[in-house]
Amino acid sequence: MIDLFPLVRPLVHALDPETAHNATIKALRLGLTGKIGAEKHDPVLRCEVFGLDFPNPVGLAAGFDKNAEVIRPAHKMGFGFAEAGTVTPKPQVGNDKPRLFRLTADRAVINRFGFNNRGLDYFEGRLRTLPAARGIFGANVGANKDSEDRTADYVSGINQLYGLSDYFTVNISSPNTPGLRALQSKAALEDLVGRVLDARQGKMAAGAAHVPILIKIAPDLLDDDIRDIADVARSSTIDGLIVSNTTITRPESLKSRDKDEAGGLSGAPLMGPSTEILSAVYKATDGQVPLIGVGGIASGADAYAKFRAGASLVQLYSALVYDGPGLVSKINRELAALLKADGFASVADAVGVDQH
Ligand SMILES: Cc1cc2nc3c(=O)[nH]c(=O)nc-3n(C[C@H](O)[C@H](O)[C@H](O)COP(=O)(O)O)c2cc1C
């Protein structure tokens, strides 16, 4: 399949970033992009994590598909799994525009969307249109900005979507909803985890299957925060952690005009810092909690570095803005070659090897 993205990129990037994104979602929904990647997966990439069987370990990160509208196209791009959301109980318009910035010279993105989404009812409706035989899908749930009980919002998301999603992500690390990241502190997290796990217990008591629940954390955490989160993850039945969301820091190296816009920074400059935090979380959890490594992945080598640092799966978003959908198959090909060159029979064999 010829990759047309390099040809259309100047046109796409001539649009303001949010318009370009909305046009991409429309094109994907209409199937205009056709079969972009290969759905054939190299067997070395197959992996089982939290009881799910992934055809490859490279997933679409949350935020690209806020309303669960392009899950099938994401699988067709070659992703081994797709995460949609963040979805909040009530529809929400998000922050004022502009709220999405391309930092082209840095191969980075800044966003301050603030959970713009169509709400749980719409999201649920979208999931009900999916065929039973589909790729792995995760629902990323959040809280409304004006909510009086944010924890109750996460519980509502899990209750309403239970049985429709292969796993859940509890997103407590967006920098664009004031106060949200305070849920990462120990007491708040224990309360949140307790209530979320009670919701699952309730579903299972009524006969539903076990659905994995993951917590997505920020890259801007101190050592004490990491220790606390690791303690909560290890002492509860939480199934994994996603490391990480966007950063509120601004590395010195940034060159682009919009580098000081408020919001979360993602893409290439996040690769180093998010991999360091991943490594610290792997150590703090003694490798006992499955981790999804996210932040700055734009090549097979980047993905491989996350596995070696302790990730069992990876996700990406920002690199798609610069490299287009053909990137997914390329990363999978490069990753398979790197694993084989180092004599690994599977992704699982490479997890955390740089830590031992
Ligand atoms: C435009 C944009 C919107 C995002 N929205 C969400 C979101 O709604 N929920 C979430 O958990 N993460 C969101 N993220 C964070 C990504 O899922 C990911 O954690 C982060 O961008 C780092 O990965 P990357 O460098 O590959 O983009 C968003 C990222 C971007 C660039």
pLDDT band per the 50, 70, 90 thresholds, residue 35: low
b/e code 274-294 from CB counts within 10 Å (16+ = b)? bbebbbbbbebbeeebbbbbb
Position of tokens 């959908």? 325
| Chain segment 309-352, per-residue pLDDT in tens | 999 999 999 999 999 888 999 999 999 999 999 999 999 999 99
Residue 116 reports pLDDT greater than 90: yes
Q: In 10 A of CB 241, how many CB atoms?
A: 23
Pairing of strands 264-267, 291-294: unpaired
Ligand 1, residue 315: give the atom nearest the CA: 26
* Res 34: pLDDT: 56
Is the Cβ atom of 95 under 6 angstroms away from ligand 1?
no
Residue 136 reports pLDDT greater than 80: yes
Is the Cβ atom of 292 under 6 angstroms away from ligand 1?
no
Is the Cβ atom of 316 under 6 angstroms away from ligand 1?
yes
Pairing of strands 58-60, 167-171: unpaired
Please tell me the residue having the least CA distance from ligand 1 atom 18. Answer: 245
* Res 253: pLDDT: 96
Residue 306 reports pLDDT greater than 80: yes
Residue 179 reports pLDDT greater than 90: no
Cβ-contact 164, 210 below 8 angstroms? no
| Chain segment 43-77, per-residue pLDDT in tens | 999 999 999 999 999 999 999 999 999 999 999 89
Q: What is the mean pLDDT of residues 261-274?
A: 97
Long-range contacts of 67-70 (CB under 8 A, 24+ apart): 67/117, 67/118, 67/122, 67/123, 67/126, 68/123, 68/126, 68/127, 68/139, 69/25, 69/28, 69/29, 69/126, 70/25, 70/28, 70/29
Cβ-contact 250, 274 below 8 angstroms? no
Active-site residue, 174 included: yes
Which of these is catalytic: 156, 174, 244, 274?
A: 174
- Output 185 or 137, whichever has higher pLDDT: 137
| Chain segment 68-85, per-residue pLDDT in tens | 999 999 998 999 999 999
How far apart are the C-alpha atoms of 330 and 344, rounded to whole Å?
A: 19
Helices (H), the chain: 5-14, 17-29, 71-76, 119-128, 150-161, 186-205, 223-235, 271-284, 300-309, 318-323, 327-341, 347-350
| Chain segment 208-263, per-residue pLDDT in tens | 999 999 999 999 989 999 999 999 999 999 999 999 999 999 999 999 999 999 99
How far apart are the C-alpha atoms of 138 and 69, rounded to whole Å?
A: 13
* Res 37: pLDDT: 53
Q: What is the mean pLDDT of residues 140-159?
A: 96
Exposure of 66 in the CB half-sphere (CA atoms within 13 A): 21
Residue-range domains of the chain with CATH: 5-355 (3.20.20.70)
Q: What is the mean pLDDT of residues 161-179?
A: 92
Task: Return mean pLDDT, the chain.
Answer: 93
Q: In 10 A of CB 328, how many CB atoms?
A: 27
Please tell me the residue having the least CA distance from ligand 1 atom 28. Answer: 63
Nearest to 214, CA basis, from 262, 172, 264? 172
* Res 23: pLDDT: 86
Percent of the chain residues past pLDDT 70, beyond the cut: 97
Cβ-contact 240, 170 below 8 angstroms? no
| CA 191 to centroid of ligand 1, rounded, Å | 25
